[in-house]
Amino acid sequence: MSLRINDIAPDFTAETTQGPISFHEWIGDGWAVLFSHPKNFTPVCTTELGTMAGLEGEFRKRGVKIIGISVDPVSSHEKWQDDIRTATGFSVNYPLIGDRDLKVAKLYGMLPAESGDTSEGRTPADNATVRSVFVVGPDKKIKLILSYPMTTGRNFDEILRAIDSIQLTAKHLVATPANWKQGEDVIITAAVSNDDAVKRFGSFDTVLPYLRKTKQPTA
């Protein structure tokens, strides 16, 4: 079965560039982003991991840990880091999982079922589906799932934007509209009556009977 929003993120143990981890224990009481890439020493992946390294501070501000994964061995991850720094100017200080037996990749549906049992002998075609993102909350539930094709590098600013929305809407009875960014107006959910909305938000704008906008809550 494929994973869905609000499923418990499967726990696992794995070897990483920072030693062995147990995923749920590694997450702790905070948030996490688990993201996979197709293959080390490839162009798009090099830009992606460098971009994530550059944004690590932004994730940290939000209480979010980041961890990468591919089916390459940990030793390959370690050798690749010099290339990432040369190409992007950023050093990878977050852990990278070496998933040579495909255990985690299959657990999270990052690979087709017929991929085999190890990373040995895999071709570029086998890697085409391996560009996934999972945002996991403190309750260990999956909050967001994204998948990209091999040739399309991800927009990690969008992942930060989504995390801002997820964290905000987990705290307040609001939703965020299309293209919303931090600090912009939000939508009051249907669970809140007009009278309650005045108490909670002070004022709001009724665009349609089912679409009410208000300032982003700050408390």
Q: What is the DSSP string of 125-182?
A: GGGTT--EEEEE-TTSBEEEEEE--TT----HHHHHHHHHHHHHHHHSSEE--TT--T
10 Å CB burial of residue 216 (0-12, 13-18, 19+) is middle
Tokens 């539930």 -> residue: 141
R_g of the chain computed on alpha carbons? 20
Indicate the DSSP class of residue 114.
Answer: G
Cβ neighbours of residue 1 closer than 8 Å, sequence gap 6 or more? none
Strand order through the sheet with 186-188: 174-175, 186-188, 211-214, 205-208
The active-site residue, picked from 27, 32, 45, 187, is 45
Cα distance between residue 96 and residue 170, in whole Å: 29
What CA–CA distances, in Å, run from 22 to 14, 69, 71, 114, 186?
7, 14, 17, 26, 37
Could you confirm whether 68 is annotated as catalytic?
no
Structure tokens at 27: 């997450």
| Catalytic residue annotation | 45
